[in-house]
């Protein structure tokens, strides 16, 4: 059972292991979006956004619903928003530590 959970975590984090996929999840944390909306916000080609969405869909990280000619994307689990917030706090902590270290080096 423990191996199953670790395997799930590994696959889940692999799905997050791309800067554009993280940015897509951040956008979806704000609410549902179409590929065109995400493309405009990201300033990226639709094919690049679609490729990354395909990975997130395959790993069951996002949901997609077809409405007319558009596909609306959303987070599969709202806790992903919390995970991204925690990751940002961890980054902030590392940044604070790095700044403190640089200040110590400068004062020497």
CATH at residue 43: 1.10.10.10
Q: 18-37: per-residue pLDDT in tens?
A: 999 999 999 999 999 999 99
pLDDT of residue 32: 97
Establish if 18 belongs to a structural domain: yes
pLDDT of residue 3: 87
Establish if 103 belongs to a structural domain: no
How many CB atoms sit inside 10 A of residue 102's CB?
10
Establish if 89 belongs to a structural domain: no
Establish if 9 belongs to a structural domain: yes
pLDDT of residue 33: 97
Closest C-alpha among 64, 11, 73, 83 to residue 42 = 73
pLDDT of residue 35: 93
Tokens 């990354």 sit on residue: 52
Full residue range of the structural domain in which residue 58 is found: 2-76
pLDDT of residue 26: 96
Establish if 100 belongs to a structural domain: no
Establish if 86 belongs to a structural domain: no
End-to-end Cα distance, the chain: 52
pLDDT of residue 31: 96
- Asked whether the CA dihedral 17, 20, 21, 26 is positive or negative, the reply is positive
Domain count, the chain: 1
Establish if 88 belongs to a structural domain: no
pLDDT of residue 95: 81
CA–CA separation, 45 vs 70, rounded Å? 16
CA–CA separation, 108 vs 105, rounded Å? 5
Establish if 55 belongs to a structural domain: yes
Low-confidence ranges of the chain (pLDDT < 70): 1
Phi, psi (deg, nearest 5) at residue 70: -105, 155
pLDDT of residue 107: 81
């Amino acid at each position: 059972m423990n191996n199953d959970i670790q395997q799930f975590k590994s696959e889940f984090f692999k799905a997050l292991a791309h800067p554009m996929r993280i940015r897509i999840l951040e956008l979806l944390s704000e609410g549902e979006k179409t590929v065109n909306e995400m493309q405009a916000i990201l300033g990226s080609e639709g094919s690049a956004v679609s490729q990354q969405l395909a990975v997130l869909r395959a790993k069951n990280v996002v949901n997609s619903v077809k409405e007319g000619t558009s596909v609306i994307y959303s987070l599969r689990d709202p806790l992903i928003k919390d995970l991204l917030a925690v990751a940002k706090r961890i980054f902030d902590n590392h940044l604070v530590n790095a700044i403190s270290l640089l200040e110590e080096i400068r004062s020497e």
